C-alpha cells in the first residue's frame, strides 16, 4: 500500500490571527497553511518607503489610506481564507475597516526579489485579480530598475516601465517618475 505524505494539520483562521498578534515574525496564511516571511534588503526598504511617501503625500486629506507591509490583506477564494502581507496597498472604501487587515484595496504593490518574483507574478497576481476593488497591481524589481504594471481597465496585460519612464497609477491618480521610486537606492544592496 502506498504511503501518502502528511504535513502539519491545517490551522484555523482564528488560531492564525491570534498567533500573528503574539509573533515577532510575520506569516502569510493560505488555506490553513502558514508560511514565514523573510526579511527585506535595504533596496527593498528604500523602494517601498519612496513610493509610500509619495502616495501618502498625494492622498493626504482624502478617504484613501496607504498601508505598508505590516498590515494583512484578507482574501477568500474558492471558499478558502488567504492572508498576505503586500509590500504596499491603498484602500479607499469606508466600510473596509477591520483592525488588522483590509479586503478591498484599489492598489497593491509587491517589491520582487529573486526569491519572491515567481510567487508575486503568478500566485499572488491571480489571487489579487479576484479583489473587486483592485484597479492596479504593481510589481517593482529590487535588483534592477524595472516595474510591471497590471491594470483592470487594461485587461491585466503587463506594461513594462524602465528608468526613464513615468508611472501613472490611475487607481489613485498619482503620476511619478520611475527614477523617483528608486531614489537613493544602490542596486545590489
pLDDT digits (tens, 9 = 90+) for 9-53: 889 999 999 999 999 889 999 999 998 888 889 999 999 999 999
Q: Cell 533596496 appears where? A: 43
Residue 179 has pLDDT above 50, yes or no: yes
Spatial separation of the C-alpha atoms in residues 97 and 94, rounded to whole Å: 7
Residue 34: all three cell numbers together: 502558514
Domain range summary for the chain, segments of one domain joined by +: 40-70+86-181
Residue 169: which residues within 8 A CB-CB, separation 6 or more?
107, 136, 138, 149, 175, 176
For domain 40-70+86-181, the CATH class is alpha beta
Residue 1 has pLDDT above 50, yes or no: no
Residue 171: all three cell numbers together: 487607481
Spatial separation of the C-alpha atoms in residues 142 and 133, rounded to whole Å: 27
pTM: 0.91
Residue 129: which residues within 8 A CB-CB, separation 6 or more?
137, 152, 156
For residue 182, the model assigns a pLDDT of 98
Amino acid at each position: 500500500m502506498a504511503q501518502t505524505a502528511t504535513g502539519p494539520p491545517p490551522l484555523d483562521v482564528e488560531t492564525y490571527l491570534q498567533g500573528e498578534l503574539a509573533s515577532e515574525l510575520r506569516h502569510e496564511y493560505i488555506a490553513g497553511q502558514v508560511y514565514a516571511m523573510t526579511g527585506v534588503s535595504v533596496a527593498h526598504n528604500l523602494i517601498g518607503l519612496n513610493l509610500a511617501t509619495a502616495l501618502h503625500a498625494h492622498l493626504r486629506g482624502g478617504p484613501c489610506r496607504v498601508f505598508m507591509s505590516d498590515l494583512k490583506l484578507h482574501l477568500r477564494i474558492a471558499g478558502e481564507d488567504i492572508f498576505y502581507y503586500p509590500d504596499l496597498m491603498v484602500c479607499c472604501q469606508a466600510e473596509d475597516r477591520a483592525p488588522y487587515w483590509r479586503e478591498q484595496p484599489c492598489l497593491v504593490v509587491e517589491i520582487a526579489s529573486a526569491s519572491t518574483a515567481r510567487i508575486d507574478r503568478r500566485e499572488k497576481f491571480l489571487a489579487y485579480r479576484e479583489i473587486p476593488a483592485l484597479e492596479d497591481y504593481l510589481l517593482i524589481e529590487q535588483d534592477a530598475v524595472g516595474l510591471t504594471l497590471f491594470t483592470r481597465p487594461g485587461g491585466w496585460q503587463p506594461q513594462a516601465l524602465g528608468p526613464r519612464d513615468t508611472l501613472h497609477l490611475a487607481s489613485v491618480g498619482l503620476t511619478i517618475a520611475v527614477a523617483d521610486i528608486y531614489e537613493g537606492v544602490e542596486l545590489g544592496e
